[in-house]
Amino acid sequence: MNQKDSQTLIFGCNALGREVAEALISNGVDVQLVDADAEAVEQLQQLGLPARREDALDDRVLRELGLGRRVRQIFCFFQDDADNVFLVLSARDLAAEGRLQIIAVADSLGGVDKLKAAGADKVIDPYETTAHKIHSQITRPLLAELSDALLFSHDDFSVTEVVLTEPSRFIGRQLSDVVHAVEDDVIILGMTDYEMDQTFHFRGKYRDHHLDAGDVLVVIGPHDAVRGFRRWVNQGGGGA
């Protein structure tokens, strides 16, 4: 990558990403659109927008895009809530504290809570919000903060530690096996292996970790779903 870092990154070359990019560019903001979808990137490039094809769920790519350096603001506009949550977690981990504003879009009411818990500063419902309102949230943070408090004040979600115990079917397998098998209403943020150290590891960096009894999975989701996940992940059996 030999292009200069942009101060604002928009992840997701879709209709919403295009609208926000055009609104920001018209206001003089230095913007870069990013997506892994070659066709979507090409369509925006043909419109003259600064779009590039990259895998934004790779920490190496995020560093090369300028996370932790010049980037001061990102928009997480992928179609999948899980991808946006993972991107928010990775970006927050890479950026210096207090130096990155993260604005994310949620595809569901549950996604709003997950994104806020993951570290997003603003969470937007695309069915309620236009590109103009998004720009207002950037330029008028106090009003945006009040709006968030009124619209997204749901407390049914929690971040919870789940200890892997015998006879779990996942003991001896990889963390990625659990990630791929888990239901959509719970997202695995990462894990801690106390035999190695007491450090929490985000799943993106630790997805190939060999799971043992006693490993601790950190998950986010509704209270009932998390309780169900704890029972499910620790069940024995042949398949996931």
pLDDT, averaged per 10 consecutive residues of the chain (240 residues), comes to 65 88 79 95 95 92 89 90 92 80 82 87 64 53 40 52 90 87 74 71 68 86 83 73
- Specify the DSSP class assigned to residue 24: H
**pLDDT value at residue 48:** 94
According to DSSP, the residues that pair with 74 across neighbouring strands are 9, 102
104 beta partners: 76, 123
- Which two structure tokens, joined as six digits, stand for 92? 């927050």
Q: How many CA atoms lie within 13 A of 27 on its CB side?
A: 13
Cβ-count burial 112-142 (b if 16+ within 10 Å, e if not): bbbbbbbbbbbbbeeeebebeebbebbeeee
Residue 100, pLDDT score: 87
d(Cα 10, Cα 91) in Å, to the nearest integer?
A: 12
- Full-model pTM: 0.57
Q: State how beta strands 101-105 and 187-192 pair.
A: unpaired
Give the pLDDT of residue 136: 53
Q: Is-contact 62 94, C-beta < 8 A?
A: yes
Residue with tokens 């190695």: 196
Are 218 and 178 within 8 A, CB to CB?
A: no
Token digits of residue 22: 């055009």
With both helix axes pointing from N to C terminus, report the angle between 81-94 and 109-118 in degrees, rounded to the nearest 10. 10
CATH of 8-151, one of 3.40.50.300, 3.30.70.260, 3.40.50.720, 3.40.710.10: 3.40.50.720
Query: Same fold for the domain at 8-151 and the one at 157-233?
Result: no
Q: What is the mean pLDDT of the chain?
A: 78
Across 148-179, b (16+ Cβ under 10 Å) vs e yields beeebeeeebeebebebeeebbbbeeebeebb
pLDDT confidence of residue 33:
97
Domain boundaries of the chain, sorted by first residue: 8-151, 157-233
198-116-101 Cα angle (round to 5): 95
Output the CA–CA distances (angstroms, integers) from residue 132 to 11, 70, 136, 214, 227, in the order listed: 18, 25, 6, 49, 40
Determine the CATH number of domain 157-233: 3.30.70.1450
pLDDT of residue 101: 87
Residue 167, preceding peptide bond in cis (omega within 30° of 0):
yes
